[in-house]
Amino acid sequence: MCNLPIRVICRANAEYMSPSGKVPFIHVGNQVVSELGPIVQFVKAKGHSLSDGLDEVQKAEMKAYMELVNNMLLTAELYLQWCDDVTVEEITHPRYGSPYPWPLNRILSYQKQWEVRRKMKAIGWAGKTLEQVLEDVDQCCQALSQRLGTQPYFFNKQPTELDALVFGHLFTILTTQLITDELSEKVKNYSNLTAFCRRIEQQYFEGHDKDSCTVSVQSSKKSSLLK
């Protein structure tokens, strides 16, 4: 969105390469910066920013909505991948362990699962049922949909970091195949959100190779492009 030249590379050990253990991260010259917040700060320090045109109140709202997405959508995605037993067995374990030989694939994926479950317990999500999690996703999508309204972007004519973050999550939810379609159905209920995703995809990602990976905020898994 800033029109900076980038190359997206998928690596199985992306989490280990990252200085904070989290993806996404960028490698610029001899610097490595991870996580969305620091990346935005880094790019801003180099003179590129998407939110310069916003006033103070709008900036506050943007930050708040970004936290909402991190709090609800990201956590729901992690929950579904690592705490829903059916999904874990059939999709997550095979996918997470696919680059490694046996028994490393099982060991690493169990380790990751344990780590994620501990974190869920710390923030109080371990006791939630799948229905409650989907309800939270629905609430979050409703809030985003109401905020977006009929505008092309969240803060009217120009995209901001919030648009990028929301696109990243919603696109991943819409295009990743899981056991059931319940999660993507929640997003599809809001037509302005799906239109928003399509618009950004057409504007910023058409013309790239069909096999290239899109940047996802929580893991290094591959996702297929929206047909």
Partner 1 sequence: MGVHPPFHDCSPLPLPAGHLPALRTQDEGTISKPQQIITHLRKQKYNADYDLSATQSADTLAFVSLLEEKLLPVLIHTFWVDAKNYVEHTRKWYAETIPFPLNFFLPNAMHKRHLERLQLMWGDDYMEDEEKLEKELYREARECLTLLSQRLGSQKFFFGDSPASLDALVFSRLAPLLKAKLPNGKLQQHLKSLQNLCNYCTSILSLYFPWDRGDPLTGAPRAAGTDGSEAEEDPHKRRKQLLSVLVGLAAMLGYAFLSGIVSIQRGSVGPAGRQPVTLEEEEEEEEE
The correct pick among 48, 63, 188, 221 for binding partner 1 (CB under 8 A) is: 63
Instruction: Enumerate residues 6+ apart whose C-beta is below 8 A from 68.
Output: 140, 143, 144
Whether 168 and 215 have beta carbons less than 8 Å apart is answered as yes
Backbone angles phi, psi at 156, to 5 degrees: 65, -105
Asked if 113 is part of the footprint of partner 1 (rule: CB under 8 A), the reply reads: no
Per the listing, tokens 């990976």 go with 213
Name the nearest CA neighbour of 194 among 216, 167, 212.
167
Rounded least distance, CB 137 to partner 1, Å: 12
Measured from the CB atom, the residue of 131 and 211 that comes closer to partner 1 is 131
Residue 143 interacts with partner 1 (CB under 8 A): yes or no: yes
Which of 67, 89, 181, 185 binds partner 1 (CB under 8 A)? It is 67
**Minimum distance between the CB of residue 179 and partner 1, rounded to whole angstroms?**
28
Q: Which CB atom, from 60 or from 179, has the smaller least distance to partner 1?
A: 60
Contacts of partner 1 in 13-42 (CB under 8 A): 20-21
Contact 187, 173 (CB under 8 A): yes
Among left, alpha and beta (phi > 0; psi -120 to 50; other), residue 31 is beta
Write out the two tokens for 204: 């910023």
Does position 147 bind partner 1 by CB under 8 A?
Answer: yes
Considering only 42, 48, 51, 70, the residue that binds partner 1 (CB under 8 A) is 70
Judged by CB under 8 A, the residue of 12, 60, 179, 195 near partner 1 is 60
Q: Which residues in 179-198 contact partner 1 (CB under 8 A)?
A: none
**Cα–Cα distance, 224 to 52 (Å, whole number):** 33
